Structure 1
Amino acid sequence: TTLKKLDWNNSRLIKTNIAEEVKKLKQHPGKDILVYGSGKLVNTLLKHDLVDELRLMVHPVVLGSGRRLFDDNAETMKVLKLEDSKTFPSGIVLLSYHPAK
């Protein structure tokens, strides 16, 4: 990343050893760690079992091509359990998953 400074409160810039740094952050008491719109980061966190909840918003749009949300590596595949779903008037569906035990 080219980001040098963070303007957000309670934020930490992590450039290397992402999984190890997130593991350390999760050991501290406090609020949730949120990731918006970074499939690459979420894949890394899933690979290292660092995701407690995954919320996906499904929009009623069909695209002919695009970037995959998750990689297709069988080694990083995770079984998830649907915990909640909510449908909005627009047709968007919010799905909330937890890793299956």
Structure 2
Amino acid sequence: MGTLLFGRATYEGMAAHWRGESGPIADFMNSVEKIVASRTLPEATWANSRLLDGEVPGAVERLKAEPGKDIFVFGSADLVADLLAHGLVDEYRLCLAPVVLGNGKPLFKPAPQALNMTLTKVTPLKTGAVILRYLPRYRG
């Protein structure tokens, strides 16, 4: 992973948490490039962060065309819905944790049509969670 792409709310939550943490994961989160898609955030102040330049579809297409490592999106359901609507999600990596909370936000926002996906890999973790990797099959 070379870049993290966030919506504003997820960015603010992650920044608030990771700025005060230490250790290998915190070091990574604080040093990796971070880009924020926001119409309301005046500036991105977390280390190695910047605002996305322009409207999401075109700006993300330009980011994807740049050389470098993969772009990851954590959370940011509204942003992901926009990316999906424009065919800009190359792969989904979902972590299925063996915990039922009983409430919370849906993983996917309502969409005008179904998105079919192909399972490409399953990775069980020691915690009992499972990482599921899918490729979206966009209708053309």
Q: State the TM-score bracket (shorter-chain normalisation).
A: 0.7 to 0.9
C-alpha distance after superposition, 1:14-50 (max 9, x if no partner): 2751111001111222211111121221111111100
Q: Which runs of 5+ in 2 are unaligned?
A: 1-39
Question: Are residue 4 (structure 1) and residue 43 (structure 2) matched?
Answer: yes
Cross-structure match for 2:93: 55
2: CA distance, partners of 1:96 / 1:82: 6
- Aligned with 1:57: secondary structure? strand
Number of aligned positions between the proteins = 98
Aligned equivalent of 2:120 = 83
Distance 2:60 2:101 in 1: 33
Aligned equivalent of 2:136: 99
Offset, 1:12: 4.0
Question: 2:61 matched to which residue of 1?
Answer: 23
Higher fraction of strand:
2
Q: In 1, distance between residues paired with 2:102 and 2:54? A: 34
Q: Name 2:4's counterpart in structure 1.
A: none
1:69 aligns with 2:103: no
Aligned AA (1:4): E
Task: Check 1:74–1:4 CA distance in 2 against 1; reply closer, same or farther (3 A cut).
Answer: same
Percent of paired sites with the same residue: 41
Q: Compare the two structures and name the one with the higher helix fraction.
A: 2
Partner of 2:35: none
Q: 1:22 and 1:88, CA in 2 relative to 1: closer, same or farther beyond 3 A?
A: same
After TM superposition, the structure 1 stretch with the greater mean CA deviation from structure 2, 44-53 or 27-36, is 27-36
Say if 2:43 and 2:50, in contact at 8 Å, map to a contact too: no
8 Å contact from structure 2 (residues 53, 59) kept in 1:
no
8 Å contact from structure 2 (residues 57, 86) kept in 1: yes
Q: TM (normalized to structure 2)? A: 0.62
Moved over 3 A (4+): none
